Structure 1
């Protein structure tokens, strides 16, 4: 049974949450109406406390009051408001802050639950896990001498993490090696790179991918542009696909790097918050080059702020599918016991006045999150606005791209290969047998023949025509995984994006992006 002290901390948490929500819903009042509302709040809290105490004392089964509050009462209350207001337990709030800071203490690898085992997807370059030789496909069998059998990925990750400078012993199983391999790894501060990839797709045409918007994003973007030699660029592809957002300040900074100083990036206002306008602080310094921004249905929040600002100011063309449509501002309130509340306090609007947020009334939480990526989804087009050069754009349902792409679909054979982790497992075997793979390695017909024998050994059923019809697909994914295994994740990612068909399509509209910079009306006429 929980102590009375703990019980009253939970009630206090709900009191703070409730007061915050009332402030958001009703706003400041005075006189008898305010007193009446406060009396009603206190009465409701007394009822809740009485019910919680009764359940704790009399319920027939096991009862966890902390779980009932954190996973039950508070989330349900917030879900009645909107899909994005949420309460963070101390553990979840710490994870949120680590994500925002762009670093954590650990060994530096991404793991995945696969067929009941915890498998290394890849070690991050220049991290402790990379330096001790952990490889994609390694199975984490033990941590500090204790088996990982029966543990999920989160539980294994918690055992691997710890203060920087401490050590952890990891026992791994590796294909082709019978004995358990044991390594001792010294934990360190691991950066969560938000700009993991930047390189030249072709001479003077750069590619930059932004995965998320954390406290380091602006610095990382500056470094990427400096590495590419921004002043000499003749084109840039900015990839925001799958980027679900992050810190507003970083979304504003990224947008401000490409538009003129003083131009509006985004504004927000709510029922109880006055309008606030965010403008480009530094600007592009008159450095202009054609830009194409890639988005998809998982591009949300800060990603939509960037895409919307660059589209409204005719600075870039947007290619992909309609974005998610998450334009609600969450203010994060730290609370007692290291917990936190993310409460929706306003809505985002693009420079032309478009509302980014799509409707969420009369939708289940599942439908709300699944809808943008469904084939039946049709974004709202009732809000019609104009860009700086007079192009028509739409609001109320995310950002509509200038050039639409169909999501890449995998056929049955491709899906089978991915579900069986054929590329990762093949790459591990291939590179173990060839530890000194020469830089610039390319898959050829001999590689496909070796891959065919591997599929036969793994009992993955296929027809000869499958290999012939999917040869370019196989070479793309084999090359990516072999580069990750033989070199590092950075090299593998460059291969992956360079061979991405959608990136090639984005390259193809750079001439239209150049025309947009020179003459917006001419581009409109051609569309």
Structure 2
């Protein structure tokens, strides 16, 4: 999570120049001690620190004076910074201007652009989906459109970062793009005026069955608190009986927004989260400043996943510790550290971990494995977690006396794991087959005036077309047995090392004679044929799931990624949402999960596990 401080980000691009001794040492010292991070050090520590800096200065000076070629200062400083960051946690970063601008866009949720999600598909820049209500949507751009030119220049070989830089710009300015669309004989030319694009923190909310409300919170950008409040008030106007707050795969965002979201559910002046760091100024407590929007009488389930992190964990932890709702899903990521954005100069910033987050009961959210990572002299990995986030074996209690444990992340009150699709379906998803098939079929379905809505069903004829499409792209059917056989072939040396992606080339393999190798490859080919048949059979066993994903891909193609129809179709088949609804409708089970144990431990104080 970032605590963004005011910084001057004006100025032009980075200039490439050569360094002087004072410049190099000055920047390195500024990076290390910026913000007073070395205050309160003992005299010995300080002496060692400056001795090390002088040693670094001497190395830089020798390179500057005597190396066979001149080295640009930017290159040398970048490598020095990279080396320093390697001994810190993975969340500390050094930003140049473009990287910092991207960070601001991510946290603010606004930028000047067209309003499309793009990706590289089959080596071509492709529109994944236009965002509703944006210039791209109004201009008629469609999912699957290939962007072959931007401002008259070919996009062949372009990266996502390069494409984003070309498509984004000042609101009110124009950008011309050339589109290649399936079913069109000629490329299409568009000139689109950029606008401020707002990425909604709540892309969908709505009422599900039995007056159970659902709010999908995707990020904690600057509008998160307001959007959550708006959605809650709209649901309350429709006789809300229970609420699901979906924080799955939410990576976090801004601390103030985490507090704003939490206070929609907690009582005024309730502690939401505290921070503790090396410096006295980093030890803070944050409280809800307003009355809750959701009445206490309305039951609440918060869905979390292993990818719920940072601000998501702050909200889930506060709701759990105050017994305001049930946390359901998988144990969260455990990214419980504070990153402060510290300006170095007008073009460079340091995102530095300065503290850890603690829930109201005192649990540290950060997992030890997400802390400091080092390598020893032999290049082997060494975990060097800070003392403050060592494996926590302490028992904590919620306000009502329920037992919760430390150790990092938020452990749900009820575990409901997110089941992985079958291998056949995973392979289809990995190859992006559903997206490609939807784009190939969409023009035909539109021509036939097929109604692509929630009632749409995938017919047998469409499934036959899907199988034909797989054959046309030489899709290789797979099964669990084939996966095992592929591993055997790699270890047996029946696959060229250039094709070996498992690391089996590092293992000593049998020394076959030419005759033995030829016979083994002949047998292997026959087994591959049999396994292809078994793969098709396993594929047919997953037909219902495949039909659902075909339908979803076609609905996204018709309505866009964040359309209500698309969300509702997904939620119908969502097992975790189904279990959350069932729990909210079962008052007895819901209440029992919030009850403390029969014999409270130590009067609600912390104690060690027995």
Give TM-score scaled by structure 2 length: 0.76
Specify the alignment match of 1:477 in structure 2: 549
Q: 1:400 aligns with which of 411, 421, 426?
A: 411
Question: Structure 1's 231 and 419: CA in aligned 2 closer, same or farther, altered over 3 A?
Answer: closer
Q: 1:306 aligns with which of 304, 315, 335?
A: 315
Q: 1:355 aligns with which of 332, 347, 364?
A: 364
| Structure 1 range deviating more: 340-349 or 77-86 | 77-86
Residues 1:425 and 2:436 are matched in the alignment? yes
Preserved contact between residue 86 and residue 374 of structure 2 (Cα < 8 Å): no
Specify the alignment match of 2:229 in structure 1: 222
Q: 1:320 aligns with which of 322, 329, 342?
A: 329
Aligned pairs for 1:29-178 (under 5 A) are: 44-45=52-53, 47-52=55-60, 54-55=62-63, 59=67, 63-70=71-78, 72-178=79-185
CA-CA distance at 1:43 after TM superposition: 5.6
SS in 2 for 1:260: coil
| Structure 1 range deviating more: 291-300 or 484-493 | 484-493
Preserved contact between residue 107 and residue 190 of structure 1 (Cα < 8 Å): yes
User: Partners in 2 of 1:133 and 1:182 — Cα distance?
Assistant: 11
User: Highest CA radius of gyration, 1 or 2?
Assistant: 2
**CA deviation profile, 1:180-218 (whole Å, cap 9, x unmatched):** 222222111111222112122224211111121111111
Preserved contact between residue 175 and residue 429 of structure 1 (Cα < 8 Å): yes
User: Partners in 2 of 1:184 and 1:210 — Cα distance?
Assistant: 33
User: Partners in 2 of 1:17 and 1:304 — Cα distance?
Assistant: 30
**CA deviation profile, 1:87-125 (whole Å, cap 9, x unmatched):** 211111111111111111111111122332222211111
Aligned pairs for 1:423-502 (under 5 A) are: 423-435=434-446, 436-438=449-451, 439-446=453-460, 447-462=462-477, 465-466=537-538, 468-491=540-563, 492-502=566-576
| Structure 1 unpaired stretches of 5+ | 370-378
Specify the alignment match of 2:289 in structure 1: 281
Residues 1:27 and 2:39 are matched in the alignment? yes
Question: Structure 1's 163 and 300: CA in aligned 2 closer, same or farther, altered over 3 A?
Answer: same
Q: 1:17 aligns with which of 31, 38, 46?
A: 31
SS in 2 for 1:237: strand
| Structure 1 range deviating more: 154-163 or 223-232 | 223-232
User: Partners in 1 of 2:20 and 2:442 — Cα distance?
Assistant: 54
User: Partners in 2 of 1:391 and 1:434 — Cα distance?
Assistant: 55
**CA deviation profile, 1:21-58 (whole Å, cap 9, x unmatched):** 7x33x4336xxx65x76676566545444534544565
Q: What value does the CA root-mean-square deviation take over the aligned residues?
A: 3.1
Q: Figure out how many residues of one structure are paired with residues of the other and give that number.
A: 509
Preserved contact between residue 316 and residue 513 of structure 1 (Cα < 8 Å): no
User: Partners in 2 of 1:206 and 1:212 — Cα distance?
Assistant: 19
CA-CA distance at 1:253 after TM superposition: 0.9
CA-CA distance at 1:299 after TM superposition: 1.0
Aligned pairs for 1:247-266 (under 5 A) are: 247-266=254-273
CA-CA distance at 1:397 after TM superposition: 1.7
CA-CA distance at 1:301 after TM superposition: 0.9
**CA deviation profile, 1:418-443 (whole Å, cap 9, x unmatched):** 12322112222332223354344412
